[in-house]
Amino acid sequence: MGYVHPVIIDPESLTTPQCLGLACVACHKRFPLPRVPVGTLPDGTIVRACEDCAFLIRPQH
């Protein structure tokens, strides 16, 4: 646990709210605000997913 290797996500595949970290990158849900950082855009912006989706995107080992 601890440091998570950053995943670079292509912004072309995301909507504007997703790019701003205001919507889940997987299910587009905006409320409640997605909490889990799952990657960054090439410019360093953190994109987020809700907890359920983050678990699917980044399985815990």
Q: Which residues bind Zn ion (CB under 5 A)?
A: 24, 26-27, 29, 50, 53
Cα first-last separation, the chain: 10
Q: How far apart are CA 43 and CA 1, in angstroms?
A: 25
Q: How far apart are CA 17 and CA 2, in angstroms?
A: 27
Q: Which is nearer to Zn ion, 4 or 52 (CB)?
A: 52
Write down the least CB distance from residue 10 to Zn ion, Å: 18
Q: Which is nearer to Zn ion, 2 or 59 (CB)?
A: 59
Write down the least CB distance from residue 9 to Zn ion, Å: 14
